[in-house]
Amino acid sequence: MTQAELDAFLEKAADILRGNVDHSEFRGYVFALLFFKRISDLFEEAVRNLVKRVGEELANDPAMQKKSLPFVVPADSIWDVVTSGTKEKSVTSLQLGQSLNDAMLAIERANAPKFDGILTSKIDFNRTDELPRTKLVELKNHFSSRKFDRAHVPDDLFGDAYEYLIRTFASKAGKSSGEFYTPKEVSYLMSEIIEPAEQHEVCDWASGSASLLLQCREYLRRHHKDPNRLFLYAQESNVATYNISRINLILHGVNSWHPAHGDSLRTPKHLTSDSKIKQFDRVVMNPPFSLKSWGFDDFTDGDPYDRFTYGMPPADNGDYAWMQHVAKSLKPDGRAIIVMSQGILFRGQPQLTEENDGRNKKADDEYLIRSGFLRDDLIEAVIVLPSGLFYGNNVPACLAILNKRKPAARKGHVLMIWASRHYQHANPQCLLRRADCLRILLPWRAFGDLAKAREILPAEGQAILDEIARDRAHALQEISEAYDPVLAGLPPLRAEAESLSADGFSRWQDRPDPSHPVWGKLYALAAEIASMEQQRAAPVAVKEKKATLKALTKAAKDEARDRLKIAKAQTKILEKLEKERDERISEVNRRADRETAEVQEAIADLQRICADPDAARRYFVVAGKDEIEENECNLNLPRYVDTFEPEEEIGLPVALDELSKAEAATYEVRAKLLNLLDSQKSAL
């Protein structure tokens, strides 16, 4: 299966249930069934390989399986046994739900504690009100139609398809899905900014589907490092989402990570031996925006983890609770990137006095916290993102980058990038394209230095162009591997069909060939007749042979007609596949060509922008401590970046002409109105 085929296959699984319940409800059923089918097929494949190494008796010993394999599936919990039954006892549609429930519980128990709750939490296949039996049977048949072992679907391909399925659900699952899944383009951008390295410990305290952590692994892979040398930590409060993240990591072939279930603000689970919050090299997060019930009342007597040192966040908004939690969980040289509501940049006012403002007012909590972050020089950069990027959430978002140990040249400064201009408008979700990511990554890597940006632009642009080329080659290779072995039979079929036609028979008669599968049967008799005629054999004997040849020819033509019919039918099927392959190749090339053109256009535009400080200020600036203090620690980017769009200039002659036309149109309407009033008066 190609990636596109597998994506489409899994999306069909979601479509089967459409219309019964909300996507956010039934996604658990699809994810659980898919995971069950995958591990069942993987286990059977692993046992076959084990048989080759140790023999059938040992390979089927449960103790040997538990010792030798990463996970086990009990014999009576194999997919085919659970969904169809055995020769002795079949599984009916009425029994299917309970059969699945029992098998999934058995698999969890056989792999405790690794699989605890992963298949059974909030999942009940007997809930016919949510999952009608007919739909469950249809879903079971759909998954049964494919093999999901590694021989058919490698880990990377299957993991990417599972991510695609998560994305499909997130795009349709309603307003909560912005917390559930971070769009892949944003995850990619965040990993490129945070730059995780081998041996780093990376944590996501609101891990959702774990897409951010997986992108950190992908960052290492893209940069030719070993992703298995990255140590992942995750915590998620929603149990269904927590299980989806565990499935996601397992299906991506991640063998070692540290998942935790629970509310990270109220009960953080990643702690040191002395019950302090564990610190990490990198933190990546997309927490719930502006969470109203974040736990304020739980900390009236103080925070046992000493996180809120800059101030207590407002009772009805948890944004700065997350920000302080992240700051506390960073190592002294750690760095974090967090998706946040843009409100963190400007909410809250400083203290107002009668002398300076004509009124007295205490400084707001969020102002105090933000000014504390700036005072301690924790904020390295702020990136304002386009609206509409996050599923089910139109709150304007930004990326906040924290660094506990800024390089000397960056101390006392904050890079501000206005990335709201360039993106792909789409319905319902807007997208960041690779070209848009380049427009963000270039000023980030140059940290606003125009000379450095011009210097590194060719390499940065080429790196993304190379990624596009690699993706194109990989996609074309996938298509080739999927289609070419099957389509290799098309030219012989076409040649066979041609040779079996009437014209083919005529050509064979001109140059007889005894090897032809149909006409070759006539060769010996035709040659014998030609020899008899040459030797002037008795006419009666020749006539008899010719009669035999005529009958044989008729039989051969009948056979050729039947074979031609089959060959044409097979050719038609393969030609349909050939057309499908060519369309997929064209689509891959069109997409790659479009992305290449977009990146090349962005490179040219960035060359212009980075050569002109005024033009650059419309996209990014580096604000110093004095300028930020002058703005009362308000980080709202329009205070620093020229975000206003220039109005189109209209020449004076054109303006005068438009004014004259407008006056003429107004005069005409007034004249009509006056005539109408006069006629009304006359009528009265």
Integer CA distances (angstroms), 427 to 171, 222, 344, 476, 590, in order: 10, 30, 27, 28, 21
What pLDDT is recorded for position 358? 59
Instruction: Summarize pLDDT for 492-546 with one digit per residue, the tens.
Output: 999 999 999 999 999 999 999 999 999 999 999 989 988 988 888 888 888 999 9
Task: Give bridge partners of residue 597 from the DSSP assignment.
Answer: none
Q: What is the DSSP letter of 210?
A: S
In one letter, which amino acid is 227? P
How many CB atoms neighbour CB 550 within 10 A? 10
Task: Give bridge partners of residue 593 from the DSSP assignment.
Answer: none
Task: Give bridge partners of residue 431 from the DSSP assignment.
Answer: 424
- Tell me the domain boundaries of the chain: 1-154, 174-421+619-666, 486-610
Residue among 192, 637, 614, 168 nearest 382 (CA) = 637
What pLDDT is recorded for position 152? 87
What pLDDT is recorded for position 175? 44
What pLDDT is recorded for position 178? 43
Nearest-angstrom CA–CA distance, 532 and 511: 19
Residues 6+ apart with CB under 8 A from 282: 194, 196, 200, 201, 202, 203, 216, 334, 335, 336
Q: Is the separation of the CB atoms in 609 and 619 below 8 Å?
A: yes
Q: Is the separation of the CB atoms in 571 and 490 below 8 Å?
A: yes
What pLDDT is recorded for position 304? 95
Instruction: Summarize pLDDT for 577-588 with one digit per residue, the tens.
Output: 999 999 999 999
Q: Which CATH class is domain 174-421+619-666?
A: alpha beta
Sign of CA dihedral 620, 379, 630, 452: negative
What pLDDT is recorded for position 652? 85
How many CB atoms neighbour CB 214 within 10 A? 23
pTM for the model stands at 0.82
Q: Which CATH class is domain 1-154?
A: mainly alpha
Six-digit token string for 75: 């014999």
What pLDDT is recorded for position 182? 85
Six-digit token string for 125: 């296949």
Look at strands 280-285 and 330-341 and give their pairing: parallel
Is 571 in a helix, a strand, or coil? helix
Q: What is the DSSP letter of 44?
A: H
- HSE, CB side, 13 Å, CA atoms: give it for residue 280: 29
What pLDDT is recorded for position 123? 84
Is 271 in a helix, a strand, or coil? strand
Q: Is the separation of the CB atoms in 170 and 126 below 8 Å?
A: no
Total length of the chain: 684
Q: What is the CA radius of gyration of the chain?
A: 35
Q: Is the separation of the CB atoms in 636 and 346 below 8 Å?
A: yes
What pLDDT is recorded for position 181? 75
- Estimate to the nearest angstrom the gap between the alpha carbon of 373 and the chain centroid: 33
Q: What is the largest CA-CA distance in the chain?
A: 136
Angle, CA 3 vertex, CA 161 and CA 242 arms, to 5°: 5
What pLDDT is recorded for position 167? 76
What pLDDT is recorded for position 419? 95
- The ranges of the chain with pLDDT < 70 are 18-26, 170-180, 353-360, 392-393, 428, 646-647, 684
How many CB atoms neighbour CB 573 within 10 A? 13
Q: What is the DSSP letter of 235?
A: E
Q: Is the separation of the CB atoms in 313 and 365 below 8 Å?
A: yes
